[in-house]
Structure 1
Amino acid sequence: MIKGPGIFLAQFAADAAPFNSFDSICGWAASLGYEGVQIPTWDGRLFDLHKASESQDYADEIKGIAARHGLAITELSTHLQGQLVAVHPAYDAAFDGFAAPEVRGNPTARTRWAVDQVKRAIVASRRLGLTAHATFSGALAWPYIYPWPQRPPGLIEAAFDELARRWQPILDHADEHGVDLAYEIHPGEDLHDGVSYEMFLQRVNNHRRANLLYDPSHFVLQQLDYLDYIDIYHERIKAFHVKDAEFNPTGRQGVYGGFQSWVDRAGRFRSLGDGQVDFGAIFSKLTQYDYASWAVLEWECALKHPEQGAQEGAGFIKSHIIRVTEKAFDDFAGSGADDAANRKMLGLS
């Protein structure tokens, strides 16, 4: 049975109460009906990653704060730090703000810092009793996503070889601590669809810790079949962001959006229930494949206020979680036949 509802705290953390401390934001989440929180490890207002990786007492304290509000910790997130494991130089300035001040402007030092951050989050996850960790892959090939001008032979292969080289020791570290890395498949990352994930997976020798965070909203915007994706990759799905989206192409714009703001794009994220994602089918498929981890709201909407989205999201997720049946619907008509009766029915007596 899927657990939930959970909520990703990244989009809600702020300098004003109740969003400025882990205790107060947990109280807010619990008041809305959430049962779990996913923690952004880069936000010092809520969480001290360095301390959590080195102190079991601190990890227990964080668990205790959540528990006092009736909450569990669903996963830790290193989306921003994972992004910095691999950055193409074209994005150096844009992504530098994700890093600690002392490594900004120094891509080599920034990469080392990012790797250390993800490794610390893996250790902190173990201290918290978590088995999955949410992150991004980063990107070296993304500027070349559209083959114009023509990509020179070997360019993409070299990018994925290097991406795998950087992540291999992190994956091995995760394996040592019993934690799955759940890469969010996301535009802007080299792992942005199933094919690119498979290219990476091949290069890390199908590493058992190189797994997936499933977020259907990104597939709506790419026009990828998000239900077939579950059929293909269900064994690798270890985390789930419940996020809605819509795609309404016109004669003026489509998937690429024409450089418009989010509210003016053909493809845009929406609050739960306001977009086009068939969550009934998604929850059914995940339940069919025995996904038993968390369903976590990630609020990103071009129109609706985040607090309204969060308030509505808890009930939305709860209404979609399927209580798994222990019996077949036609058990009442069972004949109670044994092996001898079965053989008789087949004419084998």
Structure 2
Amino acid sequence: MPTQIKGPALFLAQFAGDAAPFDSLENITKWAAGLGYKGVQIPTFDGRLFDLEKAAESDAYCDEVKGICADAGVAITELSTHLQGQLVAVNPAYDRAFDAFAPAAVHGNPKARQEWATEQMKKAAVASRKLGLDHTVSFSGSLAFPFLYPWPQRPTGLIDEAFDELARRWLPIFDYYTDHGVDIGFELHPGEDLFDGATWEMFLGRVKEHEAARINYDPSHFLLQQLDYLAFIDLYHDRINAFHVKDAEFNPDGRQGVYSGYQGWTNRAGRFRSLGDGQVDFSGIFSKLTQYGYDSWAVLEWECCIKSPEQGAAEGAPFIESHLIEVTEKAFDDFAGAERDDKAIKEMLGL
């Protein structure tokens, strides 16, 4: 019996490299398929694996990409524009760090960098349509995040203006995506202005509940914030268009809690882990997503402060496979059922 959620799939960004089998789309998809993955999420910002400029312009190139994946035995789940989406909105505090994600020609020029990022996002919509994809995944960028903690006291209106501006920058992009039949799933992530349900609602209202605005659900970031990631699905399941299967653990002690970011990854109270090594309740997550009809991909995003990516990838495919649910077509008590008997019903109710 087929499962409702598709998988397992693998986000390729953390595995791309200069040595085989991680140095080309052909090699890395064959490697992923050999581990048991049935789909791959492709980063549009790594030229070793994908040429976004060419994909937006050339049907032949998109056919070539689809052919490479098909020959390896994997489907394309989504295109990722995390780095370009990040650059749609950058607080000046992050200018120097985030220039590294953009071409040298726009370094030191925030306006030109934003324009480049916006065009990149639009090209990803065109490329997705050419590849036959309905969903993409991305980051929202951040104007307000440096002011996350309310000390020193924030000027009245600062957060509102930041979210108003974020909406102004994204609304034309959403319209463009809708015109191409594609949507954008934001990974709600600390460092982005959209990092939890409350910030998501602040943004969604400002973009007029736009249909292209979606969520790439990743429970690891919620666990590190100590947010109820199962209740999150209850609240926002109708907006979830993608799913990053990533584990994490939170071990506060007398020295550290949620704000332990100055420590190295292995020394933090909150750490990303390989699948099965952390604290995320994936049985609960797969059950909730299945219950609400999520029928897209379960995509491993590997980030672990201890285990190697190769081991994490090898263990990830069977882990996801074991959590996929074959949806039942029967009720457990069907054996005791009977045809409707109106006379008996009335008698039982004293009617």
TM-score by length of structure 1 reads 0.98
Displacement of 1:41: 0.2
Q: Which residue of 2 aligns with 1:268?
A: 271
Gaps of 5+ in 2: none
Shift in Å, 1:209:
1.0
CA shift, 1:33, in A, is 0.1
> For residue 202 of structure 2, what is the aligned residue in structure 1?
199
Partner of residue 254 from structure 1, selected from 250, 253, 257: 257
Measured in 2, the distance between the counterparts of 1:258 and 1:226 equals: 21
Matched AA of 2:256? Q
Query: In structure 2, what is the Cα distance between the partners aligned to 1:134 and 1:338?
Result: 51
SS at match of 2:100: helix
Q: Is 1:177 aligned to 2:205, yes or no?
A: no
Alignment CA distance shift 1:62-1:258 (3 Å): closer
1:1-349 matches, within 5 Å, as 1-257=4-260, 259-339=262-342, 342-343=345-346, 345-348=348-351
Equivalent AA in structure 2 for residue 302 of structure 1? C
Q: Once superposed, what is the RMSD of the aligned Cα atoms?
A: 1.1
Report the secondary structure of 2:249's partner residue. strand
What amino acid is the match of 2:95? Answer: D
Q: Provide the C-alpha distance between the structure 1 equivalents of 2:189 and 2:341, rounded to a whole number of angstroms.
A: 52
Q: Report the Cα distance in structure 1 between the residues aligned to 2:41 and 2:139, rounded to whole angstroms.
A: 15
Cα distance between partner residues in 1 of 2:298 and 2:70? 18
Runs ≥4 in structure 1, deviation > 6 angstroms? none
- Cα deviation for residue 336 of structure 1 reads 2.2
Deviation per CA, 1:270-320, whole angstroms, max 9, x where unpaired? 000000000000000000000000000000000000000000000000000
Structure 1 position 345, deviation (Å): 4.5
Deviation at 1:338, TM superposition (A): 4.6
Find the residue that maps to 1:98 and give its secondary structure: coil
Identity %: 70
Shift of 1:89: 0.6
Say which SS state the counterpart of residue 33 (structure 1) adopts: coil
Structure 2 SS opposite 1:10: coil
Mapped to 1, the partners of 2:87 and 2:50 lie a distance apart of 19
How many aligned residue pairs are there? 348
Deviation at 1:231, TM superposition (A): 0.4
Q: Distance in 1 between matches of 2:55 and 2:342?
A: 58
* Cα distance between partner residues in 2 of 1:289 and 1:258: 35
The AA in structure 2 aligned to 1:165 is R
Q: Shift of residue 184 of structure 1?
A: 0.4
- Shifted more, 120-129 versus 29-38: the winner is 120-129
**Counterpart code for 2:292:** Y
Task: State the alpha-carbon separation in 1 of the partners of residues 297 and 149 from structure 2.
Answer: 35
Distance 1:205 1:31 in 2: 44
Letter in 2 for 1:225: D
For 2:221, what is the secondary structure of its paired residue? Answer: helix
Matched to 2:130, the amino acid is R
One-letter amino acid of the structure 1 residue matched with residue 154 of structure 2: R
The TM-score normalised by the length of structure 2 is 0.97
Rounded Cα–Cα distance in structure 2 between residues aligned with 1:94 and 1:190: 17
CA gap 1:258/1:26 in 2 versus in 1, 3 angstroms: closer
| Superposed displacement of residue 337, structure 1 | 2.7
Report SS of the residue matched to 1:161. Answer: helix
- Give how far 1:9 is off: 0.1
How far apart are the structure 2 equivalents of 1:33 and 1:211? 28
Q: Per the alignment, do residues 258 and 165 of structure 1 end up closer, same or farther by CA in structure 2, a change over 3 Å counting?
A: closer
Between the aligned partners of 1:333 and 1:103, the Cα distance in structure 2 is 70
State the distance in 1 between where 2:58 and 2:341 align. 58
Cα distance between partner residues in 2 of 1:122 and 1:324 = 32
CA distance in 1: counterparts of 2:250 and 2:62, whole angstroms: 41
